Amino acid sequence: MEQLSILLKNDLDEIETLSQTVSAFGRRRQLPEDFLYAVNLALEEIVTNVISHGYIDEAEHHIAVRLSVQADEFVVEVTDDAQPFDPLQASPPETTSTLQARAVGGLGIHLARKLMDALEYRREQNKNILIMKKRIGS
Amino acid sequence: MEITQTHHENVLVFALSGRLDAKTSETFEQQLLAAIAAGHNRISLDFSKLDYISSAGLRVLLLAAKKLQEGGGKMALCSLKPALKTVFDIAGFSTIFSLFASPQEAMNELLK
């Protein structure tokens, strides 16, 4: 199994570097650009939520991201020490109403769920662990 | 992320290049909302060099479109790359935004 571990600070400046790292990892495995766009987007949405809403103090925290290719799946695991939050319990946003009626926000998790094939969440030793999987070739 | 603003008649055109993510969308939000607050009500967004958009970027577009609609203004988007169009489709944004294949078509709509 090939894998790569990345440690991020809780700072939105980390997002672009994270994206470059994910893309480089994926390109070495000949994964197509639209596949990597989907993985990058899902990962940005999850990490941004943790950074922007997960912490109640002003301290520096670390978020661990692990990328791996297992058989025919690209697997992304995000581990953080933020407040407990299960993205799978978030209610889906309304995506069919008029512009006027459309609520601002709530799209990030929806995009992550639609772009990846599977999401799993668990809380373990005071940490949130989110695993996202996308089938290669799907 | 680069943002350039140009004027064509009474239309303000924003050309974006690079990434509209959780970090860079802050700058775009400031510029776009400032333009609307300053009275621009015909706005074209040229996405031909935009490689990436996330929900943070979509949020800015929705905020701006709502403000424009309240004031009777119009916004048109053009030249979305296929990966961005997919994101628009999943978010349900393709039905509430006017999307055009080229800057000229967006301009024609705004000058109507």
- Residue from the list B23, B52, B58 with its beta carbon closest to the beta carbon of A12: B23
- B110 to chain A nearest CA, in Å? 18
Over the stretch A102-116, which tens digit does the pLDDT of each residue have? 999 889 999 999 999
Over the stretch B8-54, which tens digit does the pLDDT of each residue have? 999 999 999 999 999 999 999 999 999 999 999 999 999 999 999 99
Residue for token pair 């070739």: A137
Question: How far apart are alpha carbons A16 and A134 in whole angstroms?
Answer: 21
pTM for this entry: 0.95
Given an 8 Å threshold on Cβ–Cβ distance, is A100 in contact with B69? yes
- Residue from the list B23, B86, B91 with its beta carbon closest to the beta carbon of A107: B91
Q: Which two tokens stand for residue B70?
A: 């309240």
Given an 8 Å threshold on Cβ–Cβ distance, is A48 in contact with B22? yes
ipTM comes to 0.94
Question: How far apart are alpha carbons A125 and A106 in whole angstroms?
Answer: 28
Given an 8 Å threshold on Cβ–Cβ distance, is B96 in contact with A102? yes
Backbone angles phi, psi at B26, to 5 degrees: -60, -45
